[in-house]
């Protein structure tokens, strides 16, 4: 057996023994040993994509939703560089990826050989671990090395405290395909009972106990762990829960869904300073929330890995792997005040949205309301996730995800595809037109590839809508070209190019009907950027008026 085939066969077998179930492959010549080994491996689900960037984000979506390592494979050269954005996102958001890059052997590096670049440590600090595997040789000891290396890579990617991407660089000499010879200097088989190395998970950390108080707040951001346990504890303690949509905690009686508007009103923010704030995950959608956190007297950040904890406001006073929120005795004045204010703002903003026609924030609100229980919603990282944050009502029964580690707009179509393939139920994606165009290759599916049940809801405002809500909009002369970036693309033709079913949404009332269908499909809603600015301004004014009216009722004798 040639060494390249032996290494690929052993590596794939050991990763499967560790628990690998999904692999994404971008085809190439130097990676042929891995491709052939995977094609012959019936225990994994193989996904093939012609574009490395799309492939990498597909793997990212699969791993994010399944919460298990997914292998990502490509050939040598610039193919490897196209993985980099997804590896960065996986590193920032703690998604377990196993990146296997094929490479030329050392004697071909630095010689001008075709498709050869420096791949050593290519992804820098974005990975949790990197290993140059070395050119395989037919000599005793190689099997133990390969199998133990595979176990180490799988477990390091999986975590459990700090999951993320792992990079193995695999140098293959020719021949790259099986030569018909099955002999080798030692048995290639692995252990019959499971992985070569069995990693044991450490016991749960001792929780930090905080003093009982009714004036506490639980904040839930992206990537939060053990959300249900903390939300239940906050409920028992009488704390309001301020959860971003993708945080997974916006449900139940304690969920304050209008916190962005509440904390945008200085009078409310100042009057509702808590004794303690406990933060899960990485909050980052609402500037008023982040500003409010800076004034928290005690701010406890819960981070499973104490080497990396999120604290963008530099306001953390304690960091712990786990926190015990005790039940506090006393009245419910604190929670009651938050809930009354939340209800007042919700009524005011819902009234604005109901009169806003086919507006972007209304689409976000109504889409969440229309989804069936058990649905997955993958959301774009620019305006769609912010519209959800400011307009989504509390509800149970759906899973909401987004690429908020590095918050880029790239790879959203492919990430949604991957997440949908790992989800057991109907899936949807809410994205903007630039995100859709940026990753339109994600719609390309070969005839033998698994096809998810996924509906893309695309908001088309012909450009970068978020910039119209930022200070850049004041620079009128160059704004439209260098920020607004109108494209004039007919998204129906983009969908038609890949045979993807397409619907143009004429009125928001048609949304439930437009969402119906099976397999990948696209629903487009066209909006106007200037009108979108006006709707957001009306929402802000209505919310602040409602908050101030509520505060006045509290001060009257």
Ordered DSSP codes for 424-488: SS-EEEEEEHHHHHHTGGGG---TTS----EEEEEEE-SS-GGGGGSGGGG-HHHHIIIII----
Sequence-distant contacts of 471-476: CB under 8 A, at least 24 apart: 473/533
- Is the C-alpha dihedral spanning 485, 490, 491, 497 positive or negative? negative
178, 9 Cβ separation under 8 angstroms: no
Q: Mean per-residue pLDDT for 318-344?
A: 93
Nearest residue to 271 via CA among 283, 280, 262: 262
Q: Mean per-residue pLDDT for 122-126?
A: 97
d(CA 504, CA 518): 17
pLDDT of res. 498: 96
pLDDT of res. 146: 97
d(CA 429, CA 220): 21
Is the predicted pLDDT of residue 159 greater than 90, yes or no? no
DSSP 106: G
Percentage of the chain lying above the pLDDT 90 cut: 87
d(CA 288, CA 157): 35
pLDDT tens profile 2-18: 999 999 999 999 999 99
In the structure, what pLDDT confidence band is assigned to residue 306 with cuts at 50, 70 and 90?
confident
Q: Which two tokens stand for residue 235?
A: 């409920």
Q: Which two tokens stand for residue 229?
A: 């346990």
SS3 content of the chain, % helix, strand, coil (to 5): 40, 15, 40
280, 230 Cβ separation under 8 angstroms: yes
Nearest residue to 354 via CA among 366, 372, 367, 343: 366
Residue 236 Rama label (left phi>0; alpha psi -120 to 50; beta) = alpha
Is the predicted pLDDT of residue 160 greater than 80, yes or no? yes
d(CA 246, CA 253): 18
d(CA 168, CA 132): 6
Nearest residue to 22 via CA among 49, 51, 43, 52: 43
Q: Mean per-residue pLDDT for 182-208?
A: 88
pLDDT tens profile 385-407: 999 999 999 999 999 999 999 99
* Helix or strand run (H / E) with residue 379: strand 375-379
359, 407 Cβ separation under 8 angstroms: no
435, 443 Cβ separation under 8 angstroms: no
pTM: 0.95
99, 165 Cβ separation under 8 angstroms: yes
d(CA 75, CA 79): 6
Q: Mean per-residue pLDDT for 323-334?
A: 89
426-454: b (≥16 Cβ within 10 Å) or e: bbbbbbbbbbbbbbbbbbbbeeeeeebbb
3-class secondary structure, 99: strand
pLDDT tens profile 437-478: 999 999 999 999 999 999 999 999 998 888 888 888 888 788
pLDDT of res. 484: 85
pLDDT of res. 556: 64
CA 75 to chain CA centroid, Å, is 26
pLDDT of res. 557: 58
Structural domains of the chain, with CATH: 3-171 (3.40.50.970), 208-345 (3.40.50.1220), 356-540 (3.40.50.970)
Partners of 1 in the beta sheet? none
pLDDT of res. 330: 77
In the structure, what pLDDT confidence band is assigned to residue 185 with cuts at 50, 70 and 90?
very high
* Helix or strand run (H / E) with residue 79: helix 78-81
Radius of gyration of the chain (CA): 25
Output the average pLDDT for the chain: 94
pLDDT of res. 477: 80
d(CA 173, CA 171): 7
């Amino acid at each position: 057996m040639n060494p390249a085939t032996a290494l690929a066969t052993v590596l794939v077998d050991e990763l499967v023994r560790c628990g690998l179930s999904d692999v994404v492959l971008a085809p190439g010549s130097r990676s042929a040993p891995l491709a052939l080994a995977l094609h012959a491996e019936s225990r994994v689900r193989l996904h093939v994509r012609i574009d490395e960037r799309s492939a990498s984000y597909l793997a990212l979506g699969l791993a994010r939703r399944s919460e298990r390592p997914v292998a990502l494979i490509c050939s040598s050269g610039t193919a490897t560089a196209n993985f980099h954005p997804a590896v960065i996102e996986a590193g920032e958001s703690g998604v377990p990826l196993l990146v296997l890059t094929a490479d030329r052997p050392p004697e071909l590096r630095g010689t001008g050989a075709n498709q050869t670049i420096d791949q050593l440590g290519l992804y820098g600090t974005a990975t949790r671990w990197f290993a140059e595997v070395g050119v395989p040789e037919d000599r005793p000891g190689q099997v133990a090395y390969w199998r133990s290396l595979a176990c180490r890579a799988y477990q390091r990617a999986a975590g459990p405290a700090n999951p993320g991407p792992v990079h193995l660089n695999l140098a293959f000499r020719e021949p790259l395909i099986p030569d018909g010879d099955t002999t080798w200097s030692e048995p290639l088989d692995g252990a019959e009972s499971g992985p070569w190395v069995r990693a044991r998970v450490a016991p749960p950390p001792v929780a930090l106990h905080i003093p009982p108080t009714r004036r506490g707040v639980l904040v839930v951001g992206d990537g939060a762990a053990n959300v249900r346990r903390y939300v239940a504890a906050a409920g028992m303690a009488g704390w309001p829960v301020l959860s971003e949509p993708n945080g997974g905690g916006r449900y139940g009686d304690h969920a304050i869904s209008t916190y962005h508007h509440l904390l945008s009103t200085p009078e409310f923010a100042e009057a509702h300073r808590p004794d303690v704030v406990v933060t899960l995950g990485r909050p980052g959608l609402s500037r008023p929330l982040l500003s409010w956190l800076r004034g928290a007297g005690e701010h406890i950040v819960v981070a499973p890995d104490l080497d990396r904890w999120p604290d963008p406001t530099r306001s953390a006073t304690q960091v712990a792997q786990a926190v015990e929120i005790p039940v506090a005795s006393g009245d419910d004045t604190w929670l009651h005040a938050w809930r009354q204010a939340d209800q007042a703002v919700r009524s005011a903003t819902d009234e604005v949205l109901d009169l806003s026609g086919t507006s972007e924030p209304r689409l976000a609100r109504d889409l969440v309301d229309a989804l069936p229980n058990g649905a997955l919603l993958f959301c774009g990282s620019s305006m769609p996730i912010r519209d959800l944050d400011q307009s989504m009502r509390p509800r149970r029964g759906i899973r909401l995800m987004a690429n908020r580690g590095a918050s880029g707009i790239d790879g959203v179509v492919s990430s949604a595809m991957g997440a949908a393939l790992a989800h057991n139920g109907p899936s949807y994606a809410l994205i903007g037109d630039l995100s859709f165009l940026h990753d339109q290759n994600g719609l390309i599916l070969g005839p033998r590839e698994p096809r998810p049940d996924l509906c893309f809801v695309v908001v088309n405002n012909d450009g970068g809508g978020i910039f119209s809500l930022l200070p850049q909009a004041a620079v009128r002369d160059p704004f439209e070209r260098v920020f607004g970036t109108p494209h004039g693309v007919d998204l129906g033709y983009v969908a038609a190019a890949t045979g993807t079913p397409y619907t143009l949404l004429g009125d928001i009332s048609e949304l439930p009907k437009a969402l119906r269908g099976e397999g990948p499909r696209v629903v487009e809603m066209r909006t106007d950027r200037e009108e979108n600015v006006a709707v957001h301004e009306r929402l802000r004014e209505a919310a602040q008026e409602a908050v101030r009216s509520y505060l006045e009722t509290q001060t009257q004798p």
